[in-house]
Structure 1
Amino acid sequence: MTQRQWFKIHGWCSLPIWIVFCFVCITGTIAVFSHELTWLFNENARALNPNDLAPIAMSERVEAVKAMYPSAHITTVMTFESYLTNAVMFSADNIPAGIAYVNQYTGQVQEVNQGITFINFMRSLHGWLLFPWQSSYSVGYYLVSAMSFVMMGALVSGLVIYKRFWRAYTQPKIRVTQGKKSILSDLHKHAGAWSIWFIMIMSVTGLWYFTQQVLWHADIDIEPHAPTVDINDVPRGEVPAEPTVSFDQAMQIAQTQFSDLQPSYVMMPEHNRDMYKIMGGGDFVFYDQYAYRLAINPWTGEVAQADSPDNMTALQTVMHVVDPLHYGTIGGIWTKAIWFIFGLILSAMSITGFMIWSSKIVQAARAKKAAKREQKLSEQGA
């Protein structure tokens, strides 16, 4: 292929879906710091701990919500960074779906949110553009994850066009005195050269999200569902209102199963044959906060399911390492800051790329128009 053909491919990898691609880049960049932005703008979400107290038991956090709302039916408990409150999801009289922000050090309920949180909003906006889900798939999820093909195409064609790209590392040069076109071109090329590693990560992880959506759409489970309680384990006659194994006991059993478990998402039994479902992270650096998955029988205390990185399949391993790579949570705030900066650079590249391409389109249209005018004048002169 000629250089001109590669340039056309590079342009068409950006121009037709420029607005969507730019929007996905910007929302993803914001989503990286969604937890920090929540802490910054919502003081009720801050888990202040001036007396340096140890976190209270998760069961005590649940009891704090029940003390405020005696009719509360607790469904889920979520934990985040140490500086953010826990989220206890529940329903109660006049509150069909509430999220209580509970300080894990003091046990105080600092806010009850009955809408969508900023964290969920940004992740949903970035992940599937708030398109509705049709059972097991969302058109928006397909659209966003398909951007991985665009990024991969732009990367490959860009490397072919920008020969000896490594000069951007050894001999960086921005021609600031040669007009707007030169400045945009140099900024675009240098940003692309320095972002190769980041674009590759975004492309590969995005390709996985696309594959994952195809599997979901085909009803292919990557991870097994938690088993249900055997009917023989459920007490005969009148079933007690509460399971015989308390929430606190279930958490202790989970901690015994995995000593390094850091619970991040805990679901209560929804019916008498449902289990405590506990997910969390551990000492595995490259895995997400759901790498450990347990299902505990609420009537017998038996561990019915115990999944960890040690017994994952290849697809499950990929599934649990992609999110930390995509959002830069591997090394905490420092890697998130790096991902945020390069997210801004990628967003800017999409804008400068559009500006460069559109200027060439305008120039080509003007040249074509001028050629037609000259041809018309020559015909009239003849």
Structure 2
Amino acid sequence: MNNNNWRKPFWKLHLWMGLPFWLIIFFICITGTLAVVSYEITWLFNPGVRASGDAIFTTSELITKIQEQVPGAKIYSIETVEPYLAHLAYVSLPDSPFARVWIDAGTGIVGEVSTGHTFQSIIRAIHGWLMMPEIGGVFIGWYIVCIFSIPLFISLVTGLIIYRKFWKSFTKPKIHTNKGTRPLLISLHKVGGVWAVWFGLIISITAIWFLVMMVLREISFPFEDLNKQVVISKKDLPLLKVNEKMTLPNLDISIKKANEKIPNLDLVTLPSNAYEPLKVSGEKRTLFFRDTVYMNPYNNEILEVRLGTNKSFLSATATFMRALHVGNFGGFWIKILWFIFGLILSGLILSGMLMWTKRTAKRGNEDAI
């Protein structure tokens, strides 16, 4: 077998891993690319989610402001998503069990209340499970999306095999701009594939892991950490008079104490009942894992500290894989990097289909002659 013939089976495999599925894989990739920057796209078009500047109001003050401006709001959590975004609170309302409230910590003004679907929730639902309903307790859409990561992975690997001396595209990329449309597409496809292969492998391998994880869940495999629930002791609860309603004290002292233990915690989850602690969480200490400090808000005592790095191998891998897949582990510039290479990966799929179309059309013309 000469130097070219041994590549033919891989070329055919590369072709057949793409051609039958190109449209659905392209759709999944482009929606995933948009999902990475869904908050940033919302920021562009919706002034109500923008932060006006540095935070002036504390978390407790923001909670009070939300309750004043959004009547009947029961607040579950409030967090700093990104420095350029307003604080995001998840709440329930008298007419809606789930709503998002954006409040500017620099002005104390609620800029947006979303009770239905948002661009972010829609694009993530389309990408994640094609917005398909649950059938018999199984999210079929999740499986469909993840299964298509397998042909994507095979296409990437076979693409490197059939592209002779592909590494030269790193140092001397050749883009044919003056030889017609098909040579241009071929050169873009090759160079783009080489430069984006690392990204494509990350996306496909992490998606394959999601598929494995879903199967593990279906068979009730205990891959998640089963930590003992943290509760506030009955003796530490404040005594109430008859018919007196339990109200949370000012939470800022507890939040400050939690941040002294682990700096830069940015997600505050409020207790849903008297025995549940205040949870203060964040991912700033490590790139991939969330730390949580459990606080008794009535006496500001630290009940427990759970470091995100103290996980079982499978649980840590699941967390790590998700962060890698969605690109939410390094702030704005990692998102932009993921967005750019997501566009390149989507372009590879589209250019591959256009190359095949032009090749087929050329053959048809030759046969006609």
Native 8 Å contact 1:227 1:304 kept in 2: no
Native 8 Å contact 1:137 1:213 kept in 2: no
Native 8 Å contact 1:244 1:300 kept in 2: no
**Could you tell me which residue of structure 1 aligns to residue 265 of structure 2?**
262
Deviates more, 1:113-122 or 1:133-142: 133-142
- Counterpart CA distance in 2 for 1:338 and 1:353 is 23
Give the direction of change, closer, same or farther, for the CA distance of 1:250–1:16 in structure 2 (3 Å limit): farther
Q: In percent, how many aligned pairs have the same letter?
A: 31
- Counterpart CA distance in 2 for 1:356 and 1:15 is 11
Q: Report the RMSD for the aligned CA atoms in angstroms.
A: 3.2
- Counterpart CA distance in 2 for 1:240 and 1:229 is 22
**Could you tell me which residue of structure 1 aligns to residue 280 of structure 2?**
278
Native 8 Å contact 1:261 1:292 kept in 2: no
Give the direction of change, closer, same or farther, for the CA distance of 1:99–1:329 in structure 2 (3 Å limit): closer
Give, in angstroms, the shift of residue 140 of structure 1. 1.7
- For residues 1-382 of structure 1, the aligned pairs below 5 Å read 2-49=6-53, 53-133=54-134, 137-219=138-220, 220=222, 222-224=224-226, 227=229, 229=231, 232-233=234-235, 241-242=245-246, 247-258=251-262, 260-264=263-267, 266-284=268-286, 286-287=287-288, 291-297=290-296, 303-360=302-359
**Could you tell me which residue of structure 2 aligns to residue 373 of structure 1?**
none
AA aligned opposite 2:305: A
Native 8 Å contact 1:245 1:300 kept in 2: no
Give, in angstroms, the shift of residue 143 of structure 1. 2.0
- Counterpart CA distance in 1 for 2:307 and 2:118 is 29
- Counterpart CA distance in 1 for 2:349 and 2:15 is 11
- Counterpart CA distance in 2 for 1:177 and 1:263 is 53
Q: SS of the residue aligned with 1:279?
A: strand
Q: Where does the alignment leave 5 or more consecutive residues of structure 2 unmatched?
A: none
- Counterpart CA distance in 2 for 1:299 and 1:134 is 44
Give the direction of change, closer, same or farther, for the CA distance of 1:279–1:244 in structure 2 (3 Å limit): same
Give the direction of change, closer, same or farther, for the CA distance of 1:136–1:63 in structure 2 (3 Å limit): farther
Q: Where does the alignment leave 5 or more consecutive residues of structure 1 unmatched?
A: 371-382
Give the direction of change, closer, same or farther, for the CA distance of 1:176–1:230 in structure 2 (3 Å limit): closer
- Counterpart CA distance in 2 for 1:150 and 1:83 is 38
- Counterpart CA distance in 1 for 2:17 and 2:124 is 25
- Counterpart CA distance in 1 for 2:56 and 2:147 is 42
Bigger Rg, structure 1 or 2: 1
Give, in angstroms, the shift of residue 267 of structure 1. 2.7
AA aligned opposite 1:356: M
AA aligned opposite 1:4: K
